Chains A and B, each alone.
Chain A
Amino acid sequence: MEYIDPHIHMVSRTTDDYETLARMGCVALSEPAFWAGFDRSTVHGFRDYFRQLTEIEPGRAAQYGIRHYTWLCINAKEAENVSLSREVIAMIPEFLKCSNVLGIGEIGLNKNTRNEATVFLEHLDLAVEHDQQILIHTPHLEDKYQGTQMILDMLCNDSRINRERVLVDHCEEHTLGAVLAAGYWAGMTLYPVTKCTPARAVDMIERFGTERICVNSAGDWGPSRPTAVPDLIMEMRRRGHPAEMIRKIVLDNPRRFFSQSPNFVDDWKRE
C-alpha cells in the first residue's frame, strides 16, 4: 500500500533505508528539523543543516522515487539558548522559498521551561508572518501531558493561527483527545519504548476515529524503526480494518494536511 511518513529524520538514516522505504510503499515523507544528538554552537551550523534538508536529502530520496519535504526551526532542546535561537529564527526566511519546505517545525517544548516557551512563541510569530504551516513536537514521557497542555494554551490564545494548518505530534492516550477537540491535526509516533506501539495507535484510531490523525515513524539516530508505518498497516489489516480506512490514515490524511502548503505536489495515482 502506498503511504506517506509525515515525520522521519532521514539525515540520520542510510541510503539503504530509503530503498527499504520505497519497497514498502513510501511515496513521500517529511523531515522536520530536529536535535542532532548534540547542541550546535552557531547559526552557521544550522544554515548547513538547512541546506542538507533542502538540497541534499531531496536528491537522496528521489533516487528511490520518494518525494522529500521538510520543516525548519531550532528545536526545543536547543531553545534554552535564546540568543542562538533568535539568530536561527532570523535566518529561516532565507530557506522558506525552497521548493520542499512545508512550514515551521518541529517546534515545541522539551522540559517545559520558560526559554522553551519563549522560543516557541517566537516561532509562532515567524510562521504567522510568513503564512507557514506548523508542525509541533510534544515532550517525552512524564513531561508530555504538562507540555502538551502548555502548547495548547499558547496556540489557542493566538487568534492569528488557523488550527487546520497545525499538527501537534507525538500524541498518546492522555493527550490525543485534547488536541483533536481543540481542532488541530494530531500525529502519533510509532516509536519503541518511549512513545506509541502500532497496536496502541490502532486502539486510539478505533477510539477517536480517522479524522485529522496521521501516524509516523519519527525514525532518527536513536532506537527507531523507519518502517513503523507499514507495521501499523499490518496491525490494521490484522484487525480486519478495510483498506480504505487504512489508506486514509497513512496516505490521504497526510496528503490533505500537506496540501495546505503551496510546495506540496499531490499528483500520484491512487492504488
Chain B
Amino acid sequence: MNKNPVLDREFLEIRSLIVQLAAALDRVQRCPDSSKTDKRRGQIESAIRLVLHSDGNRAEQVQLLFSRDFDPDWKQSLLK
C-alpha cells in the first residue's frame, strides 16, 4: 500500500514530463548547429539542478532563474 496519495495521483504525469524533457534535450543535442555556449543551455542545466533540490519551493526558484533581475533603484535610471 502506498502512503503518499499525491504521488499515486501524480506519478504517471511526472514520468511523462520527465520523458518529454529528456526527449527535448536529446532533440537539442542532435541539432548540428547547437552551440554549447548558448546561455540558455546553461539556464536549462541550472534549472534541472534546482528541480533536484528538495526545499519544496522548486517552481518559484525555477521561475526566478529564468527572470531578469530587478533593480530596486530602477526609478532613478528610468523615470528621471
Residues of A within 8 A of B (CB): 112-114, 117-118, 141-146, 149-150, 153, 172-174, 200, 203, 238-239
**Cβ distance A193 to chain B, nearest Cβ, rounded Å:** 13
**Cβ distance B67 to chain A, nearest Cβ, rounded Å:** 4
Interface residues of B, count at CB 8 A: 16
In the bound assembly, the distance between CA atoms of A109 and B12 in angstroms comes to 38
Residues of A contacting B74 with CB < 8 Å? 146, 150, 153
Pair B78/A114 contact, Cβ less than 8 Å: yes
**Cβ distance B49 to chain A, nearest Cβ, rounded Å:** 18
In the complex, residue of chain A having the shortest beta-carbon distance to the beta carbon of B5:
A240
Q: Which of B9, B64, B71, B78 contacts A174 (CB 8 A)?
A: B64
Known: A114-B79, A117-B78, A117-B79. A145 touches B59 (CB 8 A): no
Interface: B75 (CB within 8 A): yes
Pair B60/A149 contact, Cβ less than 8 Å: no
In the bound assembly, the distance between CA atoms of A232 and B74 in angstroms comes to 36
Q: Which of A149, A238, A239 contacts B70 (CB 8 A)?
A: A149
Known: A150-B70, A150-B74, A153-B74. A145 touches B64 (CB 8 A): yes
Residues of B within 8 A of A (CB): 9, 59-60, 63-64, 66-72, 74-75, 78-79
**Cβ distance A82 to chain B, nearest Cβ, rounded Å:** 13
**Cβ distance A146 to chain B, nearest Cβ, rounded Å:** 5
Residues of B contacting A174 with CB < 8 Å? 60, 63-64, 67
In the complex, residue of chain A having the shortest beta-carbon distance to the beta carbon of B60:
A173
Residues of A contacting B64 with CB < 8 Å? 145, 174
In the complex, residue of chain B having the shortest beta-carbon distance to the beta carbon of A203:
B59
Residues of B contacting A112 with CB < 8 Å? 68
Q: Which of B60, B63, B69 contacts A146 (CB 8 A)?
A: B69
Known: A114-B78, A117-B79, A153-B75. A173 touches B59 (CB 8 A): yes
Residues of B contacting A143 with CB < 8 Å? 67-68
Pair B60/A142 contact, Cβ less than 8 Å: no
**Cβ distance B57 to chain A, nearest Cβ, rounded Å:** 8
Residues of B contacting A150 with CB < 8 Å? 70, 74
Pair A145/B78 contact, Cβ less than 8 Å: no
**Cβ distance A151 to chain B, nearest Cβ, rounded Å:** 11
Residues of A contacting B63 with CB < 8 Å? 144-145, 172-174
Residues of A contacting B68 with CB < 8 Å? 112, 142-143, 145-146
In the bound assembly, the distance between CA atoms of A173 and B56 in angstroms comes to 12
In the bound assembly, the distance between CA atoms of A117 and B74 in angstroms comes to 11
In the bound assembly, the distance between CA atoms of A146 and B74 in angstroms comes to 10
In the bound assembly, the distance between CA atoms of A142 and B70 in angstroms comes to 11
